[in-house]
Amino acid sequence: MNQEHTDPYHCKNCGERLHGSGYSDPVRCPNADEDDWSFSAPDEGPFYCRADAADEIEHLQAECERLRKLLQHMIDQTTPLVPEPGNPMWSRRIQLDEVIAERDQLRAECEQLRKDAARYGWLMQDRHEWPEKVEHAIKYQDKPRIDAAIDAAMQGAQP
């Protein structure tokens, strides 16, 4: 088992280092729901993140995508695709196109965060030692180098 998961200074669910002193604020996982610990006494806890959070996030993302498609369908039914003099819906269409472009950019950023989460999740899985290139990249705190080293190590670990 990974040392972080048995170490009392790390979250038992995700392996992140716990925050808080237990004297001035509660000891907690950085991924723990703030509502769980924010009104607690400093000596309460530790507060851990929920192990099922990834499943819940995936479910919510699927629901958001379903609602987005439904909204897009409704917009397409009521908004003209070509300018119509005197029709205020046309200017709304332009605004919606901007919102859609921003949404696509956010989706790309979200995908990058998912890749990062997968990298670091792989890195934390029952590791007694990190691959040497990862250790070296972490030593110099070079994120692109860390990501490349983890990706290379993951490829080598897969059958």
Tens digits of residue pLDDT in 46-77: 888 876 666 677 777 888 899 988 888 887 77
CA distance 11 to 36: 15
Kindly give the interhelix angle for 143-157 and 89-124, rounded to the nearest 10 degrees. Answer: 70
Are 14 and 31 in the same domain? yes
Are 45 and 61 in the same domain? no
């703030």: which residue's tokens? Answer: 34
Are 116 and 58 in the same domain? yes
Are 114 and 130 in the same domain? no
Q: What is the mean pLDDT of the chain?
A: 76
Are 46 and 59 in the same domain? no
Note down the domain range covering 39.
1-50
Are 65 and 113 in the same domain? yes
Are 43 and 92 in the same domain? no
Number of domains in the chain: 3
Task: State pLDDT tens for residues 3-45.
Answer: 445 677 888 877 788 988 888 889 998 888 888 888 888 888 8
Are 130 and 112 in the same domain? no
Are 33 and 62 in the same domain? no
